[in-house]
Amino acid sequence: MTGELPVAIINYVFLSSVIFFIGVAGVLLRRNPLIILMSIELMWNAANLLFLSFAKAWANNAGQIFAFLVITVAAAEAAIGLAIVVTVFRAAKNVDVDDVRSLQG
Amino acid sequence: MIPLNPAGIGFLGMSLVLVLSAVWTVTGRKPVYSVIGLLVHFSALAAMYITLSAEFLGVVQIIVYSGAILVLFLFVIALLSSGVAPFSLGPNRMPWATIPAAALVFVTCIITIVAVGRIPSGAPTTPIANAVGVAGTANAFGSVADFGKALFTVHLLPFEITAFILMVAVIGVILLAGDQTPYMPSRRREMQVRRDAREAILRGGEE
A69 touches chain B (CB under 8 A): yes
Residue A2 lies in a domain: no
B99 touches chain A (CB under 8 A): no
Could you tell me which chain A residue has the CA closest to the CA of B127? A1
Radius of gyration of chain B (CA): 24
Secondary structure of chain A in the HEC alphabet? CCCCCCCCHHHHHHHHHHHHHHHHHHHHHCCCHHHHHHHHHHHHHHHHHHHHHHHHHCCCCHHHHHHHHHHHHHHHHHHHHHHHHHHHHHCCCCCCHHHCCCCCC
**Which of B30, B164, B173 is the best substitution to test chain A (most A C-beta atoms within 10 A)?**
B173
Residue A57 lies in a domain: yes
| pLDDT tens figures, A4-13 | 777 888 888 8
C-alpha B1: how far from chain center:
30
Residue A73, domain CATH: 1.10.287.3510
Residue A98 lies in a domain: no
Residue A99 lies in a domain: no
For residue A25, which phi and psi values (nearest 5 degrees)?
Answer: -60, -40
Per-residue pLDDT of chain A (105 residues; tens, 9 = 90+): 355 777 888 888 889 989 998 998 888 888 788 888 999 999 999 999 999 998 888 888 889 999 999 999 999 999 999 988 888 776 665 556 666 666 665
Q: Look at residues B104, B43, B163 and name the one whose alpha carbon lies nearest to residue A45.
A: B43
Q: Which domain holds residue A57?
A: 9-93
Mean pLDDT across B166-177 = 88
Evaluate if residue B179 carries a pLDDT over 70. Answer: no
Evaluate if residue B45 carries a pLDDT over 90. Answer: yes
Residue A65 lies in a domain: yes
B120 touches chain A (CB under 8 A): no
Residue A4 lies in a domain: no
Q: How many CB pairs under 8 A join A and B?
A: 263
Q: Which residues contact B176 (CB under 8 A, 6 or more apart)?
A: A80, A83, A84, A86, A87
Residue A16 lies in a domain: yes
Going along chain B from its start, the domains and CATH numbers come out as 1-85 (1.20.120.1200), 156-207 (no CATH)
Evaluate if residue B132 carries a pLDDT over 60. Answer: no
Could you tell me which chain B residue has the CA closest to the CA of A23? B26
* Percent of chain B predicted with pLDDT > 90: 29
Task: Give chain A's domain count.
Answer: 1
CB contact under 8 A, B97 and A1: no
**How far off is chain A from B200, nearest CA to CA, in Å?**
9
**How far off is chain A from B42, nearest CA to CA, in Å?**
8
